[in-house]
Amino acid sequence: MRSPLPLLYASVCSTLSPCLGTQRHSLGGFAARRMAGLSVLGILLLMPVRSMAQDCLDCHGDASMLEPVTAGRTKDSLVVAKDALKGSVHEDLSCSDCHAMDAGEGTTAHYDKGGKAPTLACANCHEQAQKDYDSRDIHGKRMAEHNPHAPNCVNCHGGHSILPLKDPRSPLSPHNQPDTCGKCHQSEDLTDAPGIAKRKLIERYHSSIHWKRLEEGRPAASCSDCHGHHTILPTSDPQSSVTRTEQIKTCGKCHGTIATEFSTGSHGSALLAGNLDVPSCTTCHGDHDMTSLKTQKTGQRDLAAVAICIWCHGNKRMMERYALDTAPVESYMSDFHGMAQRGSLGAVATCADCHEAHYCLPSGHERSRMHISNRGAACGECHGESSDTFVMSFTHKKAAKEPQWVVVKWVTVIYVVLILVTIGGMLLHNSIIWTYFVRRKYRYQKKRGVVVRMSAFERFWHWAMLIAFILLAVTGFALSFSETAAVKWVYELGFTESARAFIHRLFAVVLIVDSLLFGWMMLFTRSGRRKWLWGMMPRWQDFKDFHGTMAYHLFSRKEKPRFAIFNYAEKAEFWALWWGTAVMALSGLVLWFSVELPADAPKWLVPVAKVVHYYEAVLAVLSIIVWHFFHTVFHPEEYPLGTSFLTGRLSPEEAEERFTHEAVAEQTVSPEVEQVEAPHKPKWSE
């Protein structure tokens, strides 16, 4: 702090000058003024001294003495503790050094009603910092625009208790900067405020390797290390320290060797030449959620180390822009390294292990790790000393004229043809045998069928539902799994999305109409009500039948249970069918006619309909495969196929095996049957 004595001395001399009547430039007059000034100064020094801080604290140290005249201020905001400056870097300054008054105003003018409040005079000592803040810093520019959210010196450094930056308690110490900056950049109230573009910056920073190092007490980058202090610029400003090109210098302050390697590598040199398609530091590592892609303690490598490279090298359109292709990605992902990395995140080579993470060069460059003269050493880091054949066995380049790929191509073609012929022949052979037994069972059931299971109308209903269900499942999942090879192949044959959508909606109508017709028959015809409505109603006997079935097949009961016209499994499936059809129809109609929904419809209606429609479809398909196909195809008593959905009937022998005598009699239409050779059954099943 500057001593007040020289100022006081000059003031006294100036005041006494007119009284002494001396000439301004005469030596005698100067001596007289000097003696008088020293005399008065000596008298003043002997008097009790009150500092300006004490004068200010007479009012600001007592809330009862204060009466705010500025809108929005309170008494508490004007009170200053007597030890407020203790430990501060400004401890030796007086109040007026920071709270400047306008020229010509007295020290008490500011608290006269209507008087001007003193302004912060940080620039008196921190001239360059204030200049940078006003002219370049994004916060200073927002302050000049009178943006209420723009921070000033106090918001970042604190008020009276400004601590050295090295002090762990300082709001701008590396460990505390995220919380200080987060007052705005993490505020939910300011998330959509102009000038605060990104969200969750501080939350993501707390997940970064930088924050982890700070938590461990180790030096690491905090907010100002990357963005600057009083010259913080938006990323859109070419002079910002975090633009794609300036990141190399910014990160290089801590990672100098890596920055140098990156600058001379393929990506860095292209970036510095103005190609903004190539990655920068934050492209691979993230911006605030900076990630380390080193090998983990478990020996595993994060798949992100591969996924990052795929962002660009798996982008067909971007690769074509530079006369490249996506073959390297496809080759890697189909090779051992890629399959192991994708499947288990195991300790296998990633892109960076072979090509280097920062000093990445084309394989033709003599300093590249994948150059023919260096490849053995690179592979040897994992595989040890290896033969030239092993080292040269893997490459991303699949040039058609290279001998190894010519051989690979023809071997592949031979095996594809071999698989098609072999497996196709097996399928044909087995299909002939399977069809023989199905046809034999069908003829036997057709000739001897006297127990009616399904009428002609009921068989029509079943066939319509079967066809509609299959086509709905295929066309529906073709949309959900459009990236699969099978669906892509169908689209390549000329199938279009418009055709898929039309078929899906057409057979949705078929399914709904078919269900309505069956429902009308079940509710409004006597036979329908008797057989389907009342016959499908759950009864206590169904629980007893379930217990008996499980006991018989667990070898704890010798007698095989027999059922009424419909058993518990058929009843469960029947009512599940109606439930699933209703849910699929309602959710499908919401999605189909979502544009026509009323304005007051809930906002969650369409998203929930999407989820319900998808998962109900998954449930329905799995139920058909696991439950219905078992009971109609794979059940030992039905195999190779339950043909009653074709004939509508059962033979007396089949009926006696599964129904009670009452149920057989109720379904039998004619006692006379034609004698036909029964289909062969395994000896162990007799």
Q: The domain spanning residue 606 has which CATH number?
A: 1.20.950.20
> And the tokens for 667?
């379904």
Are residues 506 and 633 both part of a single domain?
yes
**Residue 30 has what pLDDT?**
45
Are residues 390 and 442 both part of a single domain?
no
Domain assignment of residue 324, given as a range: 293-398
Are residues 442 and 545 both part of a single domain?
yes
Are residues 450 and 540 both part of a single domain?
yes
DSSP, residue by residue, 456-508: HHHHHHHHHHHHHHHHHHHHHHHHHTTTSHHHHHHHHTT--HHHHHHHHHHHH
Looking at residue 34, what DSSP letter applies?
H
Are residues 468 and 587 both part of a single domain?
yes
pTM above 0.85, yes or no: no
Task: Identify the segments of the chain with pLDDT beneath 70.
Answer: 1-54, 69-72, 101-117, 190-198, 294-304, 343-347, 397-402, 670-686
CA distance 233 to 230: 9
**Is there a domain that residue 581 lies in?**
yes
Q: Which of 622, 347, 334 is nearest to 473 (CA)?
A: 622
- 255-279: per-residue pLDDT in tens? 999 999 999 999 999 999 999 899 9
Are residues 357 and 447 both part of a single domain?
no
Are residues 387 and 530 both part of a single domain?
no
**Is there a domain that residue 272 lies in?**
no
CA distance 322 to 270: 12
**Cross-strand bridge partners of residue 379:** none
**Residue 678 has what pLDDT?**
61
**Residue 142 has what pLDDT?**
87
Are residues 368 and 449 both part of a single domain?
no
Asked if 247 and 227 touch (Cβ cutoff 8 Å), the reply is no
**Residue 64 has what pLDDT?**
77
**Is there a domain that residue 37 lies in?**
yes
Residue 649: what are its φ and ψ, rounded to 5°? -135, 170
For residue 563, give the 3-state DSSP assignment: strand
Are residues 467 and 354 both part of a single domain?
no
Are residues 459 and 583 both part of a single domain?
yes
Q: Quick one: residue 356, left, alpha or beta (phi over 0 = left, psi -120 to 50 = alpha)?
A: left
**Residue 506 has what pLDDT?**
97
**Is there a domain that residue 477 lies in?**
yes
**Residue 16 has what pLDDT?**
46
Residue finishing a domain among 124, 145, 165: 124
Are residues 544 and 652 both part of a single domain?
yes
Residue finishing a domain among 367, 398, 429: 398
**Is there a domain that residue 321 lies in?**
yes
**Residue 429 has what pLDDT?**
97
**Residue 388 has what pLDDT?**
80
**Is there a domain that residue 644 lies in?**
yes
Asked if 170 and 176 touch (Cβ cutoff 8 Å), the reply is yes
Q: Scanning the structure block, which residue is given the tokens 């192949």? A: 489
Are residues 443 and 558 both part of a single domain?
yes
**Residue 24 has what pLDDT?**
39
**Residue 3 has what pLDDT?**
46
CA distance 30 to 17: 9
Q: What H or E segment, with its residue span, contains residue 309?
A: helix 304-313
Angle between helices 497-524 and 456-480 (to 10 degrees): 150
**Residue 368 has what pLDDT?**
87
Count: domains in the chain: 3
**Residue 684 has what pLDDT?**
45
**Residue 500 has what pLDDT?**
94
Q: 9-15: long-range contacts (C-beta < 8 A, 24 or more apart)? A: 9/37, 9/38, 9/41, 12/36, 12/37, 12/40, 12/41, 12/44, 13/37
**Is there a domain that residue 231 lies in?**
no
**Is there a domain that residue 480 lies in?**
yes
Residue finishing a domain among 87, 102, 124: 124
**Residue 681 has what pLDDT?**
60
